[in-house]
Chains A and B, each alone.
Chain A
Amino acid sequence: MNILVCIKQVPDMGGRFAPNTFGTWFDDAGLVFRMNDCDEYAVEEAVRLKEQLGGTPEVTVLSIGPARVVETIRKALAMGCDRGVHVDDPSASERDPWQISSMIAGHAMSRQYDLIFTGMQSEDRGSAQVGVLVAERLGISCVTGTIGFGWRDGIVTAERELEGGLRGMMRLAAPALLTCQQGLNTPRYPTLPNIMKSKKKEVAVLRPEEVGLDGSLSSVAGFRTHEHKAAGLVLKGDSGDIADQVVALLDSKTTVLRRGGVR
């Protein structure tokens, strides 16, 4: 059995973002990079399935991006994936979801993966497209926003998150692609021995043209700061002083501090 996990390296969202020269994306300078949140759930679920099946499935982890994404591939290997594929594409951030999906599908086409796990969406681009597009290109079934997963003899049961706390239950046969959502599992922290072991695992490096890069369908401009509406008052400084100011504000602007008002 073969499993593919697709992961994206993204900046830590606490960083300060500035546009690059062309205004198409952010400038990398000063940012700290890590694995996309949803993709950790994807890695964890693949590794759990491998463990459930006594270690037989081979789990490949793939990431498209510049040289730095290898660190994130290593993290996935330390979490328990078997081998890495790095599509070395320094221009990955300029590619649209259609192009990213062309490279992933190009890689997967000849490899007969039984299951593919991706994240539901990337935190920086937030398109929630790549996983579904890969499934459409490969002509395999796809469930998005997966928050529950089970596997028995080639049959997947998946829970999908809907609005307002509702969950939809699905059954489908492999081959299938699942886009994973927060809450699917609790991703593990790699242990030191596993980090050591992961250093010896193979990471194949491929060029975008080798896996099959399509032309883009959209273009990006005007990457810019989201101007926050100026209505709010910003308070900084000593916590005690701010707390005094907040109490005064709540007194003047709300009724919540008046006695007997609690329902």
Chain B
Amino acid sequence: MTLPDAMRLTQMLLALALLQQSLEHLRGFRDERALFLARAVLCVLVLVGVASPWPLTAMAALSLLILHRFQGPYNGGSDRMGLLSLWCLTLASLAPSTPLKELFFGYLGAQLVLSYFISGWVKVVNPEWRSGRALRDVFQFSAYPVAESLRALAEQPRLLTVMSWAVMGFELAFPLAMLTKPTLIAALVVAGTFHLANACLFGLNRFFWTWLSVYPAILWLQSRLIP
């Protein structure tokens, strides 16, 4: 995948992810509706490819107003990845030279690798994650399970220990998948399935769409680093 193709595909997928989020906000309060209606229009312009890169630039500027409105990200990590992607794509689009474009877009791909590896590292150094206790806590009392019936999974300690190690092992091994294109594609399929499970069990649908939208950046980075 060439740099322009990868950037364009990432822009389109991000625009779709942010459009989905924006439509959800149109049922909110008046000030939210105004901000997210504007963002929805900009998402459509990015999708269509009109007046590039200005709709993307306007979305980056609008993201500051949205951050101010909610005094931070609305939905934690998924919003942060959306912001990172938006600003990297904007800077890469505005950059006057190819090396600078590669730097900003490559940074996005590198952060995606780190998002998995660091998440695995901070878990594996915690004894409660290694014993499966932390994942039991997630199901037993955290705010995330979407239904009370899912809390019964906390009574399956062996299963949760296996699941904990599967998640930590996958996240820690993710950088190795960068060695070849087939291993990276296989890892992204597994990662996408992981995000899908999180969306179903914990209602984190925004994570699924936002992380998937950045996958072209990591595919491009892999081919750039190991041609």
A and B from one assembly? Answer: no
* Residues of B in contact with A (beta carbons under 8 Å apart): none
